[in-house]
Amino acid sequence: MMKKCILFLLVFILGTISLIAQNKFDYSFQNPSLSIPARVNDLVSKLTLEEKVNQMLNSTPAIPRLGIPAYDWWNECLHGVARTKYHTTSYPQAIGMAATFDVDAMKKMGGFTSDEGRAIHNESLRKKDYSRYTGLTYWTPNINIFRDPRWGRGQETYGEDPFLTSMIGTAFVEGLQGDNPKYLKAAACAKHYAIHSGPESTRHIFDVNVSNHDLWNTYLPAFRQLVVNAKVAGVMCAYNAYAGQPCCGNDKLMVDILRNKWNFKGYVTSDCGAIDDFYETHKMFPDAESSATDAVLHGTDVECGNRTYKTLINAVKDGKITEKQIDVSLKRLFTIRLRLGMFDPASMVKYAQIPISNLESQPHKDLALKMAKESIVLLRNVPMPGQKNNLLPLNKNIRRIAVLGPNADNANTQLGNYNGQPSVVTTVLEGIKSKLKNADIFYSKSTDFVSTEPQDFSKLIDSIKDADVIIYVGGISPRLEGEEMKVSKPGFSGGDRTSIDLPAVQTEFLKALKATGKPIVFVMMTGSALAIPWEEENIPAIVNAWYGGEAAGSAVADVLFGDYSPSGRLPVTFYKSDSDLPPFDDYSMQNRTYRYFKGVPLYPFGFGLSYTNFKYSNLELSKTKIKKNESINAEVTVTNGGKMKADEVVQLYLTHLENGKDIPLYSLKGFKRISLAPGASEKVNFKITPAMMELVNADGKSVLNSGKIKISISGSLPSERSEELGAAKPVEALIKIQ
């Protein structure tokens, strides 16, 4: 038997070698039996200087003499494949996906997204379409820390916490890139490296100076996680400067940390036009030639743009850079393309078989709905005066409903930014109509998002006098907040927000609705934290639905009418007012985010209510006194004490009980999403490692100090404010590091 197996294996190997030998490769780089480094070296050796430089632009021309097709590096898939001519599945905006605290769903979403991306790429190759947004190099995810709610692009991030960002980002990258040992399904790209989170109006000139502590404790952990552990294929360097050098030409960020300390072997692309900024806005260099040289020598391999890197031809001739130094970038770029299987027969690459029919497949649409539901955060739910039960969930037997507001029937808002275009987008109005087919539903847009004119709501109020319940769907819009936008309205400027308040016209309208005495549900759509102190005091039910993607309307309807218990948790702090915020352009983390904010938030990080109630009990530690090299196990019992099946997000926080200016008040170090039937309990375990207990000192070094650490486990940030709002009481214990 053994001899037969060996003989069969030998015949198979010889047959494979024979098949490869029969293929007539014009060049060695086309031979898939060779190693990727050998193929890359062969390919690059055959390029002229002009060809090399043109391959370093995001839109690369074909090289017909070598059989190399054109390729555009620029593609997007922030929450589903974006900007393509095909219909694709649209998941909740990134900030909404972070609110799910669901790494399993996030990894699956990344996999489904690259399935659709491969399908589009395969179809495009068949049609010889090499245009932008057909490639496999996606400039996603955005893992900048959402340090200030006024930043318009914060909606693209996974929130304010480095650990949550790291875990959600890792899941997405692993799903998108796939698990094939030879081929990438798609190539993810961590952006914007680094210390980049507004203002949009000054991003091309801003020079950030932060302490080493903040750099390593807040701004770099997610990038390190994706580069070192998730093996992300690409990194995008940011527009701004850091410590006197543009990020794309920064000694510390690009060379010392990214390439040397983290040993990053992938490719780096500039943000679009960022190399132009070297000499045009940062004024660091006299001309394009010296700027391009500096960026390449710092390891920026692709210029998103089409002019500055073209001067590299003259830079070589002028002796500013050598062709061999340019080859370093070329080898990184073609390594990525070979890892994507772009020069191999389609029959050898299983991902090359994915058909166009994969787009918007039922499992993808089902996941979009699941994640939309999981992202919804119930912020407030109290009874109407004289009633015993909380207002939500609403009774499906309600006959007359008024659905009002600028986001009630607004598919555009739901899709966020950096989005694709699904075949079908279900708005909240449509979701409610589908849920309650026999109800009398009155709809009106009612208000604009923002208005400076006095409003007379009396006629509208009169038209809803018979309504049993009012559902107002407001908030803001990705047409008001986003990337470097030409928007100037009260509270909004250039893509950012000048105030975190809910626009005044909406609060005034809600006041008019409250005066009717009718039950009101405020469904809020937003990509960032809104200050709604009046609403928190006066509106009985408030639901935050973010920009929920194609299925947001169905998800909201499921939550409002009790077919799903809300389980989203806030990935950002909701502050009470603008006065809680430091200056927008101050990048110090002092008094920012839940880890350092010393005030009382409107809604804390990690907060979210449910239609049931959860109880935490029996926190057991494997040890209470440990040495610096020891891990401990923490186990807690979580019980669903209500009458409805529901999900809970169990959150682990550590607090170092020692004095120090830069010690966080709390640090999220673990979370697990569980589902419990009514009356059921589950034991949830966390392993707390020495690395989780480290602090970052003033020099930016991670150290593990002796002393006491408080362990808190709960369904929200463990604070008095969380409990006041209805969150479960945390269980806590102390450990001592000897």
This prediction has a pTM of 0.96
Instruction: Report how far apart, in Å, the C-alpha atoms of 362 and of each of 88, 123, 357, 358 are.
Output: 12, 20, 11, 9
pLDDT for residue 23: 61
- 154-172 pLDDT, tens digit per residue, is 999 999 999 999 999 999 9
pLDDT for residue 24: 80
- 191-238 pLDDT, tens digit per residue, is 999 999 999 999 999 999 999 999 999 999 999 999 999 999 999 999
Residue, of 5 and 288, whose pLDDT is higher: 288
Residue in 550, 563, 561 with CA at minimum distance from that of residue 372: 550
Mean pLDDT of the 130-157 span: 98
Give the amino acid at 5: C
Provide the percentage of residues in the chain whose pLDDT is more than 70. 97
Domain ranges for the chain, please list them. Answer: 30-68+190-339, 365-596, 614-737
Integer Cα distance of 559 and 160 in angstroms: 26
Which run of H or of E encompasses 294?
helix 288-297
Q: Please give the full DSSP string across 704-719, using - where no structure is assigned.
A: --SEEEEEEEESS-SS
- 420-477 pLDDT, tens digit per residue, is 999 999 999 999 999 999 999 999 999 999 998 989 999 999 999 999 999 999 999 9
Tokens of 255: 């060379």
Does residue 12 register a pLDDT over 70?
no
Mean pLDDT of the 719-732 span: 97
pLDDT for residue 10: 41
- 95-128 pLDDT, tens digit per residue, is 999 999 999 999 999 999 999 999 999 999 999 9
- 53-69 pLDDT, tens digit per residue, is 999 999 999 999 999 99
Residue in 556, 543, 533 with CA at minimum distance from that of residue 429: 556
Instruction: Report how far apart, in Å, the C-alpha atoms of 330 and of each of 50, 187, 394, 635 are.
Output: 12, 17, 60, 51
CA 296 centroid distance within chain: 28
pLDDT for residue 18: 41
Instruction: Answer whether the bond into residue 393 is a cis peptide, omega within 30°.
Output: yes
- Asked if 501 is an active-site residue, the reply is no
Per annotation, catalytic residue among 123, 271, 535, 648: 271
Per annotation, catalytic residue among 102, 289, 481, 496: 481
Residues 6+ apart with CB under 8 A from 579: none
pLDDT for residue 643: 95
Residue in 273, 375, 242 with CA at minimum distance from that of residue 58: 273
Residues 6+ apart with CB under 8 A from 654: 666, 667, 669, 688, 692, 693, 709, 710, 711, 712
Integer Cα distance of 345 and 352 in angstroms: 9
pLDDT for residue 7: 41
Residue in 220, 225, 217 with CA at minimum distance from that of residue 703: 217
Where does residue 31 rank: exposed (0-12), middle (13-18), buried (19+ CB within 10 A)?
middle
pLDDT for residue 17: 44
pLDDT for residue 275: 98
Does residue 419 register a pLDDT over 70?
yes
Averaged confidence pLDDT in the chain = 96
- 493-544 pLDDT, tens digit per residue, is 999 999 999 999 999 999 999 999 999 999 999 999 999 999 999 999 999 9
Provide the percentage of residues in the chain whose pLDDT is more than 90. 96
- 615-657 pLDDT, tens digit per residue, is 999 999 999 999 999 999 999 999 999 999 999 999 999 999 9
Q: Is the dihedral of CA 450, 453, 454, 459 positive or negative?
A: negative
pLDDT for residue 237: 98
Residue in 379, 723, 377 with CA at minimum distance from that of residue 542: 379
Three-state SS string over 667-691 comes to EEEEEEEEEECCCCEEEEEEEECHH
- Asked if 271 is an active-site residue, the reply is yes
Class of domain 30-68+190-339: alpha beta
Mean pLDDT of the 405-412 span: 98
For 198, left (φ over 0), alpha (ψ -120 to 50), or beta?
left
Rg (CA), the chain: 27
Contact 698, 667 (CB under 8 A): no
Give the amino acid at 302: V
Does residue 13 register a pLDDT over 60?
no
Strand partners, 189: 234
pLDDT for residue 22: 44
Class of domain 365-596: alpha beta
Residue 368: strand, helix, or coil: helix
Integer Cα distance of 155 and 147 in angstroms: 12
- 555-586 pLDDT, tens digit per residue, is 999 999 999 999 999 999 999 999 999 999 99
CATH of domain 614-737: 2.60.40.10
